[in-house]
A = this chain, B = another copy of it.
Amino acid sequence: MKEINGGVCAAKGFFANGIHAGIRKNKDKYDLALIVSEKPAAAAGCYTQNLVKGAPLWVTKKNISDGVAQAIVCNSGNANTCNSDGIEVAKKMCSIVAENTYIKPEDVIVASTGVIGLPLDPKPIADAMPALVAGLNEKGSSDAAYAIMTTDTVRKEIAFEFEIGGKTCHIGGIAKGSGMIHPNMATMLVFITTDVCITSEMLQKALSADIKDTFNMISVDGDTSTNDMVTVLANGMAENKTIDSENSEFKMFAEALNKVTTTLCRRIAKDGEGATKLLECNVSGAASDTDAKTVAKSVICSTLFKAAMFGADANWGRILCAIGYAGINLDVTKVDVSLSSRVGKIDVCKNGSGVDFDEDTAKSILSEDEIIIYIELNAGSYAATAWGCDLTYDYIKINGDYRT
């Protein structure tokens, strides 16, 4: 499997574009993205578990319930959430795409991110759509990735090439991470495209299995958005034999999918609001998969631990503390903890108690921008990884200081 350029346009038959439609006031910032497939594609999606769900999620769920979609339209600047006319506007966005293309409105995936509780006017979207469609092209992934960003500081795109049954296949994705504009809340959006030939059932199976180890293992601030959405479109243009069971080809596809999702997860975590560091927590020796995941998430979500990482402070007591309140059964006197980065690795805790370590070495390890925390529970053979970021002054600035 090799990394390639092209993002969501890396797979055959996918075109994308991004534009400033006028949903945002800042004319330099794109706010409307469109991704289309030449052919109708197998579609799969996963959505926020928040009871408060953005209107676009309901419409998307319905539209891909037949396992088919052909386009993705997404605006930033307004979440179209908690609005009484939300569903109507989300459907209107699908109709606008349909009116300007050969695609049926019920084959459109719709997503929104931005201000919550303010009505979304579909007029700028309707006005901009002809130009957006006219500009669709094979190199449009970056413009689409830019259009879905809110307070993200970098575009998040990735693509891989791999082979299934002698056919060259491609998979790529774009994502927006946890960003914020007033009065908004973080939303993670991920759109993945592939030319692999796979049934929508198997596509959904692969995606649903994958997110448990990837997107569900990220945390920037512990707040689950109302508009989170991950979708995959597979248009079959690689012409491999259709994947319709959990065979070896399915495993190859799942592996490629995982390369895309893991890469995007790391980038989303690293670009968390105000973040200066990517934190990766590797838990091993757990009694179950759930235990491993629970501990990894608990550490990654600890406000105190995140603040310590910002200060490059080897405050391992906060890690033990977060393990202790994670809610699993565990003999804490067996826990070992090490801290690592590209410049080295040190043990800080053995059998639940502190070990002597060199503070200068610890400081230099934790001053890097990617930190790995290894936790060995010595209670079994399960492992899990979670990703997060440090908690910084800029997080407070972005989220508290917006209007002061």
**Cβ contacts A to B, 28 pairs, < 8 Å:** A49-B325, A51-B325, A51-B330, A51-B332, A52-B332, A52-B352, A53-B324, A79-B317, A82-B320, A82-B349, A82-B352, A117-B317, A117-B354, A180-B304, A182-B313, A182-B315, A183-B315, A185-B304, A185-B321, A186-B304, A221-B304, A223-B303, A225-B321, A307-B396, A308-B399, A308-B400, A310-B401, A311-B401
User: 7 nearest interchain CB pairs?
Assistant: A116-B317, A52-B324, A307-B399, A117-B354, A311-B400, A310-B400, A307-B400
Count copies of this chain in the complex. Answer: 2
Any chain B CB within 8 A of the CB of A372? Answer: no
| Residues A372-404 near B (CB distance < 8 A) | 390-393, 395-397, 399-404
- Contact check, B403 vs A323: say whether CB atoms are below 8 A apart: no
Contacts of A310 in B (CB 8 A): 396, 400-401
A386 to chain B minimum Cβ distance, whole angstroms, is 16
Q: How far is the CA of A313 from the CA of B84 in the complex (A)?
A: 23
Any chain B CB within 8 A of the CB of A253? Answer: no
- Contact check, A324 vs B50: say whether CB atoms are below 8 A apart: yes
Take A313-B400, A314-B183, A399-B308 as given contacts and tell me if A320 and B116 are in contact as well, using a CB distance cutoff of 8 Å. yes
Q: How far is the CA of A332 from the CA of B68 in the complex (A)?
A: 30
Q: How far is the CA of A182 from the CA of B68 in the complex (A)?
A: 55
Any chain B CB within 8 A of the CB of A15? Answer: no
Q: How far is the CA of A349 from the CA of B84 in the complex (A)?
A: 12
| Residues A268-313 near B (CB distance < 8 A) | 301-304, 307-313
- Contact check, A324 vs B226: say whether CB atoms are below 8 A apart: yes
Q: How far is the CA of A390 from the CA of B183 in the complex (A)?
A: 17
With beta carbons under 8 angstroms apart, the residue of B84, B332, B404 that contacts A353 is B84
Closest to A401 in B: B311
Q: How many residues of chain A get a CB closer than 8 Å to chain B's CBs?
A: 68
Q: How far is the CA of A102 from the CA of B103 in the complex (A)?
A: 88
Closest to A329 in B: B51
Any chain B CB within 8 A of the CB of A214? Answer: no
Besides A79-B317, A83-B354, 19 more A-B contacts (Cβ < 8 Å) are A50-B324, A51-B332, A81-B317, A83-B353, A115-B317, A117-B354, A183-B308, A183-B313, A183-B316, A183-B317, A222-B222, A223-B304, A223-B318, A226-B324, A303-B399, A308-B400, A311-B402, A311-B404, A395-B396
| Residues A182-203 near B (CB distance < 8 A) | 182-186
Contacts of A224 in B (CB 8 A): 321, 324-325
- Contact check, B324 vs A185: say whether CB atoms are below 8 A apart: no
Q: How far is the CA of A310 from the CA of B320 in the complex (A)?
A: 29
- Contact check, A303 vs B221: say whether CB atoms are below 8 A apart: yes
Any chain B CB within 8 A of the CB of A46? Answer: no
